[in-house]
Structures are given as C-alpha cells and as structure tokens.
C-alpha cells in the first residue's frame, strides 16, 4: 500500500510551504485545501504546522466503520476537513475525547501520540496515528497571562521553552536583544536565570525593570562585542531586522565560544528570505521551526548539548 507524508500548511503561508517543497526537491502527489501529500517518508517541514507520517488511504463503508478503523489505529485523532464536513464531524464524534484545554507555561507535553485524519472522499479516509505534534493539527494554546507581559511576543518564547527546551534552567545568564517592550525579558526573568541582560534602543516597561535582576542596556544590539560579556547560557533575539544582519550577529557571538544556546526569531519583510534562512541552517546542529505563535517569521535555535 502506498504511504504518504502529509503536510498541513499554515493558513496564509501555503506559498512558503510550496517553495520549501521546491527547494527540498519534493514533489506533491495530491493536494486538497491546505493539505499536501508527498509519496514516501520525508521529514517535517518548516512551513507545515503539522506533519503526518505514514499516511494511508483506507476505504470505509459507514460512519461507524470509519470510527472503528480509526480506533483500531490509535486513540487520539486530530481532524482536518477537506470536504464532506458534516460526515467527517459525525465520525469524529464517535472517537475518544481528549483534553483540548490551553496549557500553562512549561507544562509537560502530552505523552500520547496525536493522530491525524481526514475524510478524503465520502467513502475513503486518509489517516495515520503518528504526527509531528502531540497537539491536534499542531495547534497549541496557552493559559495566557493577561496582566504581566507588555506584548504578546512572550507567547513565542513560552512555546519555545515549553516544547523545544523544557529542561530545567539552573542559574546562569541570558541575554535578550531587541527586548522592548519587555515580553521576552519578562519570560526570561520568570525562569531561574541569575541575570537577564536586556538590550534595545528603546526602553522596556518600568514594571518589568522593577522585577529586578535585569541589566537593561539602551543601545544597538549590532554594536555589542562578545568580549564585553562573560558566559551566556541563552542568547535570545526578537530584533526586527534583515535576516542577514541577525545572522552576522549570531555568528559573532557563536564564534566567541561564550554562548551555550541560541533562540532567535528570523523576521521577514514582504518576501521570505530563503537565501539567508538556509544560511542559518548551515550552522551545524541548528534547527528552524515555525512556532504556532510565529507569524511571517520563523524561529532558529541551537542547543549547546547538541553542538
Ligand atoms: C518585535 S519587537 C520585540 C518584542 C519583544 N521581544 C517583547 O517580547 O516584548 C522588536 C524590537 O527590536 C528592536 N530593535 C530594532 N533594531 C534594534 C537594534 N539595532 N538593536 C536593538 N534592538 C533593536 C526594536 O526597538 C523593537 O523593540
């Protein structure tokens, strides 16, 4: 039986995923709505909000038959409908329920696999129990803090430190460049760092400064010299700038050997800058993901234990 890798494009970023297929030499065999199928086994993609591995077409005789066949494959099922919406919902209603409540920051991720299925035709489902995310369709939501963070940018760092870097933080120093109005600095301040260095040309909010243990520097990040710093555990950047400028800054700090881990937002203007995005990936053992909380931007990271 033919197996496919399924990629669910991010709403409004379908053309980014299509470009990524071209760059990586993948040929799309089928497409419906935002769902793209490529024959065979392939890795997750930056611009897919969820990747479904080993998808198979399965004939079904009825709603009950579909639910029975899905239950035989796995417990948790995220549905993406590409048509026949009502019939698909009726099948989904016959499947086990799972927790869809927003989670707190740093909450352990669900341990069980999340499957993916769609009703491709009225008498044919497409399904797999194995996907790239423990959340249905890769959509994760937090119990937001509506009081402290001065901007919604904090959700990106919450997602990153919950999903990609859940390890305990034991002291040390973090640096946040492009920090105003202070969302990321606030997140870093809530983690167990001894010190947070926060750098922006504009000041961060006073109530964040008042939390203490924040060394705010009102200057351009591009003028920073790694020689002026001690060891840095996490170098974090959410600066609005051209990707090439960020790449040069990251390389300067990486070459200094003083930084253990990096997490940086690569932001795009009207066009996605693939040339420099791919240059980021040339940095060994580093990764790029499109977080659920990213917009027209991606998140590059490098973890010291993987260098
Ligand atoms: C998207 S905002 C950062 C939001 C922040 N992460 C938060 O959570 O509140 C981007 C920031 O980059 C800053 N920025 C732009 N150029 C900069 C530079 N050369 N040096 C430092 N910061 C810069 C801007 O002043 C702006 O505050």
Mean pLDDT within 52-69? 98
Determine the distance separating the centroid of ligand 1 and the alpha carbon of 235, expressed in angstroms: 14
Written in H, E and C, the secondary structure of the chain is CCCEEEEEECCCCHHHHHHHHHHCCCCCCEEECCEEEEECCCCCCCCEEEEEEEEEEEECCCHHHHHHHHHHHCCCEEECCCCCHHHHHHHHHCCCCCCCCCECCCCCCCCCCCEEEEEEECCEEEEECEECCCCHHHCCCECCCCCCCCCCCHHHHHHHHHHHCCCCCCCCEEEEECCCCCHHHHHHHHCCCCEEEEEECCCCCHHHHCCCCEEEEECCHHHCCHHHCCCEEEEEECCCCCHHHHHHHHHHHHHCCCEEEEEEEEECCCCCCHHHHHHHHCCCCCEEECCCCCCCEEEEEECHHHC
Candidate from 196, 240, 242, 295 with most ligand 1 atoms within 8 A of CB, to mutate: 240
- For residue 119, the model assigns a pLDDT of 98
Read off the pTM: 0.96
CATH number assigned to the domain with residue range 154-306, chosen from the 4 options 1.10.620.20, 2.60.40.3950, 3.40.50.150, 3.40.50.880: 3.40.50.150
Determine the distance separating the centroid of ligand 1 and the alpha carbon of 179, expressed in angstroms: 5
Q: What is the pLDDT of residues 204-251, one digit of tens each?
A: 999 999 999 999 999 999 999 999 999 999 999 999 999 999 999 999
* Contact partners, residue 54, CB within 8 Å, separation at least 6: 3, 4, 5, 41, 128, 130
Give the number of the atom of ligand 1 that is nearest the alpha carbon of residue 181.
9
Determine the distance separating the centroid of ligand 1 and the alpha carbon of 200, expressed in angstroms: 6
- For residue 1, the model assigns a pLDDT of 86
- For residue 45, the model assigns a pLDDT of 97
- For residue 307, the model assigns a pLDDT of 52
Q: Where are the domains of the chain?
A: 4-138, 154-306
- For residue 248, the model assigns a pLDDT of 98
Give the number of the atom of ligand 1 that is nearest the alpha carbon of residue 185.
8
Instruction: Decide: 160 in ligand 1 pocket, CB within 6 A.
Output: no
Average pLDDT for the chain: 97
Instruction: Decide: 153 in ligand 1 pocket, CB within 6 A.
Output: yes
Please identify, in words, the CATH class of the domain defined by 4-138: alpha beta
Determine the distance separating the centroid of ligand 1 and the alpha carbon of 65, expressed in angstroms: 54
Mean pLDDT within 11-24? 97
């Amino acid at each position: 039986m033919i197996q496919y890798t399924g990629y669910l494009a991010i709403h409004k970023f379908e053309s980014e995923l299509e470009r990524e297929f071209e760059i990586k030499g993948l040929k799309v065999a089928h497409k419906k709505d935002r769902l793209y199928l490529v024959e065979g086994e392939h890795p997750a993609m930056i611009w897919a909000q969820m990747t479904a591995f080993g998808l198979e077409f399965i004939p079904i005789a009825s709603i009950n038959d579909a639910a029975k066949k899905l239950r035989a494959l796995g417990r948790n099922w995220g549905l993406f409908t590409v048509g026949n919406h009502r019939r698909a919902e009726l099948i989904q209603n016959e499947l086990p329920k799972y927790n869809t409540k927003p989670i707190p920051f740093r909450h352990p991720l669900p341990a069980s696999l999340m499957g993916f299925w769609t009703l491709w035709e009225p008498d044919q489902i497409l399904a797999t129990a194995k996907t790239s995310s423990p959340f249905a369709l890769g959509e994760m939501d937090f119990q937001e803090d509506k009081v402290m963070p001065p901007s919604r940018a904090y959700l990106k760092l919450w997602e990153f430190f919950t999903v990609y870097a859940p390890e305990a933080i034991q002291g040390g120093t973090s640096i946040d460049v492009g920090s105003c109005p202070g969302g990321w600095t606030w997140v870093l301040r809530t983690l167990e760092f001894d010190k947070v260095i926060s750098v922006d040309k504009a000041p961060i909010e006073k109530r964040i400064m008042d939390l203490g243990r924040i060394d705010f520097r009102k200057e351009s990040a591009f003028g920073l010299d790694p020689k002026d710093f001690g060891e840095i555990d996490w170098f974090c950047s959410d600066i609005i700038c051209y990707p090439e400028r960020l790449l040069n800054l990251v390389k300067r700090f990486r070459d200094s050997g003083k930084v253990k881990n990096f997490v940086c937002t690569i932001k795009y203007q009207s066009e996605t800058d693939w040339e420099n995005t791919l240059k980021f990936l040339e940095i060994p053992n580093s990764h790029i993901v499109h977080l659920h909380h990213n917009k027209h931007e991606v998140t590059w990271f490098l973890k010291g234990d993987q260098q």
